[in-house]
Amino acid sequence: MLSSAHDGECRGTKIVVLCGGRSAEHEISFLSAAYVVNTLRVAGFDVAVLGIERTGATMEPVRVRQALLQSESVPPEVEFPGADHWITYLLGLSPAEAVVFPVLHGPYGEDGTVQGVLEILGLPYVGAGVGASAVGMNKLYCKGILQSAGLPVLPWLACRREDWRVKAAGFAAAVEQRFGFPVFVKPANLGSSVGVSRCTSFDEIDRAVRQAFEYDEWILAEPGLTAREIEVSVLGGASPRVSVPGEIVPGDVFYSYEAKYLRNDSKLLIPAPLETGQTAEIRRLAGEVFRVLQLDGMARIDFLLDRQENRIWINEPNTIPGFTKISMFPKLWEASGLGGVELVKELIRLARYRRRSRNQLRCSR
């Protein structure tokens, strides 16, 4: 349980929710933001919502409200400030009285760019710092670091767009020779399964690569395991807490964008029906990923459990996990004894603690 002093932090604290953003996950951000905004209001915080256009400009307040209302109702007390630019509004905030809650999925929000702005402004914010956000978003960097730490990540082949234009057939042949089929082709920097394709033959690779390159300059290919999809939520800092695992049973061949957001035939099993040893190992690995990548505040760590070899693989971390009605991050914490209101309070506390710790660092010799 959290202390009554922690509850007192809600009064007089403005939480600024950033949503939208320059990403193919723009719409998903509003689904998450609606949950966050409503939960923060129930928790007693003063909430302001800033929307960011796909161009990076500030969204008109009326459009932000409309985008949130497509998900669920929004309390009338929520503020939708107008500003020449969303950074202009942030410039006027007091670090002692405000906390920023980025609900920005994908590039230009989850990749360290917005976190860098907030660090320069000296504002406390929810989630991982600049470096950890950048690494967590980039699947190539992330895999390399986890592999060097001796953690189990799937083998991969990467390709840059300029190189592929010169030797497209060579990359496809290398993928086939290394992995066989099926294989997954995906952008290196994106989430929500956007731009991800499952290829079952050589002829499908070219189309999949072209699609992935529409979203990023780097792509990667991985073997397409027959696997169970297990997810774990992590919360904290140097000594993170790990939730019970959950399992996603997709209504599609894999947990595609359509299966996540456009259909309702996928199932969430909480807790995941795992053997005791599997549960313990997945939770241990989730904590290791959090520590090795120097994550902070929150993350959802995704795993693949190979059905044939019964082997656990780390899929990827999500440093700004989804907060929609179907999202695992809040659901797993609820199943672990931490409801939505207490969860957002704890995230705000962690953001403030990290800012205080950062302020204690020397900037002179």
- Give dist(CA 320, CA 339) in Å, integer: 18
CA distances from 183 to 119, 252, 254, 290 (A): 39, 16, 12, 27
Q: Is 30 helix (H, G, I), strand (E, B) or coil?
A: helix
Strands 227-236 and 241-242: antiparallel
**Residue whose structure tokens are 């995704």:** 302
- Comparing CA positions, the residue from 259, 275, 254 lying closest to residue 197 is 254
Residue-wise DSSP of 183-250:
EEEEESS--TTTT-EEESSGGGHHHHHHHHHTT-SEEEEEE---EEEEEEEEEESSS-EE---EEEE-
Active site residues: 25, 192, 261, 300, 302, 316, 318, 322
Backbone angles phi, psi at 26, to 5 degrees: -50, -50
Residue-wise DSSP of 96-138:
TTEEEEE---STTTSSSHHHHHHHHHT--BSS--HHHHHHHH-
Number of residues written out for the chain: 365
**Residues 167 and 317 sit within 8 Å (Cβ to Cβ):** no
Beta bridge partners of 316: 302
- Give dist(CA 254, CA 252) in Å, integer: 5
Residues 6+ positions from 54 with CB-CB distance below 8 Å:
20, 21, 22, 23, 26
Residues 6+ positions from 185 with CB-CB distance below 8 Å:
175, 196, 197, 199, 205, 208, 209, 211, 212, 219, 220, 221
Residue 187 preceded by cis peptide, ω within 30: no
**Residues 110 and 104 sit within 8 Å (Cβ to Cβ):** yes
What does DSSP assign to residue 363? S
